[in-house]
């Protein structure tokens, strides 16, 4: 069969996507790694008033000043109506408001205190240790953009703003269905040497969780046409996305592709890529079926290349491509657009890609994706990538 390009397949997928507008409110303590559904905009400057950045004495700056008169203490959280004049100071603590008239703070270790007299031992510059109005952010500034995956700092910022409940995108429900008479689920007994344990449904479910979805792992389905078709139909009843593995190639027992052709609108029927050129993507109204290959390395790479594109579109995310320097020569092994597992190493301020420990062989070698592997993008017309060449890298999850 003739395969379309990866770029054309991506365009078809993206053109088919309808905006994900399902939103729910959650407590910020439950919002880590959720995708925010609104812009968070500062309602005021922060800090709203000048505050102290450390413990010390707030005063009105004058050149060559030697001594100050201590008027009072101002602990954090308290206020006063004093206005400081020349040669006066207020003992001020970290986070305290700066008293009116003061414009500089001298640290406690820079002075010697004798009763109400504060002698300056080591002078400071004007404005020292004063947090300016709006230092953290200004009124109407966008602090967190819609679609951001909330990290710990974002949640700390929401707490600083006094936000307790925040609007986030509902997690899509993804069902994962492994097919094949040769595979067994964990805990089952292998009956002969031709059988293996399935890793696809576990690995894919973990990947999709990291992409921001909720997963449902289905029972493994044997290579029986009606069983495969019914399992696909049933899984879609409670999922927004169904991911299948196995049964999409050209073998006599590849029944997933037949079920998709008979029951759904197949929008992508293979792509000129390695691994995974036999990928199938189908739709059932607004629901998607991603039929991935049976080999685990291939299935996981396809999950990143296609399933993540859909989820990222719903969550307003870009695909994480970066540039790197190739740290060794790489000879291309096929006529396809290749996605090859590499290691990333950071040295001398640059990112380098290498294949240390990566095994050459079939698309079954799932351990090639271990140790935070990334994908080297090798264009179809490339023959060799030379050491030192700048390359495109697609990050995994």
pLDDT tens, 124-151? Answer: 999 999 999 999 999 999 999 999 999 9
Which comes out higher in pLDDT, residue 368 or 363? 368
Q: Look at residue 279 and give its three-state secondary structure.
A: coil
Q: What does DSSP assign to residue 225? A: H
Of 5-19, 162-176, 276-290, minimum mean pLDDT range: 276-290
Residue 274 predicted with pLDDT over 80: yes
Query: What whole-number percentage of the chain has pLDDT above 70?
Result: 98
What's the whole-model pTM score? 0.89
Domains observed in the chain: 6-22+171-315 (3.40.980.10), 23-45+139-169 (3.90.105.10), 51-131 (2.170.190.11), 321-395 (2.40.340.10)
Give, in order, the Cα–Cα distances in Å from 203 to each of 185, 198, 215, 218, 307.
13, 9, 11, 13, 14
- Residue 341 binned pLDDT confidence (cut-offs 50, 70, 90): very high
Q: Which pLDDT does position 385 carry in this prediction?
A: 98
Lowest mean pLDDT: which of 108-122, 246-260, 312-326, 365-379? 246-260
Contact criterion met (CB below 8 Å) for 54 and 129: yes
**Nearest in space to 281 (alpha carbons), one of 11, 20, 19:** 11
* Spatial distance between the Cα atoms of 122 and 23, rounded to a whole number of angstroms: 56
Q: Closest by alpha carbon to 48, among 121, 119, 104, 131? A: 131
pLDDT higher than threshold 70 for residue 335 = yes
The closest alpha carbon to 277, from 297, 292, 256, 289, belongs to 292
Q: What is the rounded distance in angstroms from the CA atom of residue 285 to the CA atom of residue 265?
A: 9
The token pair at 286 is: 């607004």
Taking 80 as the threshold, does the pLDDT of residue 255 lie above it? no
Question: What is the CB neighbour count within 10 angstroms for residue 259?
Answer: 24
Q: How confident is the model at residue 253 (pLDDT cuts 50, 70, 90)?
A: very low
Could you check whether the bond before residue 191 is cis, i.e. omega within 30 degrees of 0?
A: no
Cα 50 to Cα 104: distance, rounded to the nearest angstrom: 10
DSSP per-residue letters across 106-127: EEGGGEEEETTEEEESS---TT
Q: Taking a C-beta distance cutoff of 8 angstroms, is the pair 236, 202 a contact?
A: no
CB 300 within 8 Å of CB 294: no
What do you get for the CA distance between the two ends of the chain, in Å?
31
* Residue 371 φ then ψ, to 5°: 60, 45
- Please, which residues have CB within 8 angstroms of residue 154's CB and are 6 or more apart in sequence? 36, 144, 148
Q: Model confidence at 388, in pLDDT bands (50, 70, 90)? A: very high
Q: What is the mean pLDDT of the chain?
A: 94
User: Which three-class secondary structure state does DSSP give residue 27?
Assistant: strand
CA dist 127 and 60 (Å) reads 9
| Average of per-residue pLDDT across 300-307 | 97
Give the pLDDT mean for 275-281: 94
CB–CB of 93/52 below 8 Å?
yes
pLDDT of 250 above 60: no
pLDDT tens profile 60-101: 999 999 999 999 999 888 887 899 999 999 999 999 999 999
Residue-level pLDDT at 251: 55
The first and second tokens of residue 327, run together, are: 């740290």
């Amino acid at each position: 069969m003739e395969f379309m390009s990866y770029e054309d397949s991506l365009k078809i997928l993206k053109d088919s996507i309808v905006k994900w507008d399902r939103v729910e409110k959650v407590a910020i303590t439950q919002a880590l790694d959720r995708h925010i559904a609104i812009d968070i905009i500062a309602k005021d400057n922060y800090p709203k008033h000048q505050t102290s950045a450390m413990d010390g004495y707030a005063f009105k700056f004058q050149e060559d000043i030697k001594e100050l008169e201590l008027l009072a203490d101002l602990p954090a959280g308290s206020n006063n109506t004093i206005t400081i004049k020349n040669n006066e100071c207020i003992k001020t603590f970290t986070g305290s408001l700066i008293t009116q008239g003061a414009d500089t703070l001298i640290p406690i270790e820079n002075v010697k205190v004798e009763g109400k007299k504060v002698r300056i031992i080591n002078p400071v510059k004007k404005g020292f240790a004063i947090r300016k109005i709006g230092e953290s952010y200004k009124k109407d500034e966008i602090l967190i953009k819609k679609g951001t995956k909330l990290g710990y700092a974002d949640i700390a910022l929401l707490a600083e703003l006094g936000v307790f409940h925040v609007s986030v995108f509902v997690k899509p429900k993804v069902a994962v269905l492994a097919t094949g008479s040769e595979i067994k689920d964990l805990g089952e007994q292998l009956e002969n040497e031709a059988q293996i344990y399935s890793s696809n449904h576990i690995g894919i479910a973990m990947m999709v969780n990291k992409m921001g979805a909720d997963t449902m792992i289905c029972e493994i389905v044997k290579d029986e046409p009606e069983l495969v078709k019914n399992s696909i139909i049933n899984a879609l009843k409670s999922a927004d996305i169904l991911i299948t593995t196995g049964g999409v190639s050209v073998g006599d027992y590849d029944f997933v592709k037949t079920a998709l052709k008979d029951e759904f609108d197949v929008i992508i029927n293979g792509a000129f890529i390695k691994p995974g050129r036999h990928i199938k993507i189908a739709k059932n109204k607004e629901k998607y079926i991603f039929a991935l290959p049976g080999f685990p390395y291939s299935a996981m790479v396809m999950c990143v290349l296609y399933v993540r594109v859909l989820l990222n579109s719903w969550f307003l995310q870009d695909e994480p491509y970066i540039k790197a320097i190739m740290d060794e020569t790489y000879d291309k092994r096929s006529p396809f657009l290749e996605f090859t597992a590499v290691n990333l190493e950071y040295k001398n301020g640059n990112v380098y890609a290498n294949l240390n420990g990566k095994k050459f062989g079939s698309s079954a070698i799932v351990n090639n994706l271990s140790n935070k592997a990334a994908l080297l993008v090798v264009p179809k017309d490339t023959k060799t990538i030379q050491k030192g060449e700048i390359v495109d890298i697609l990050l995994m999850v």
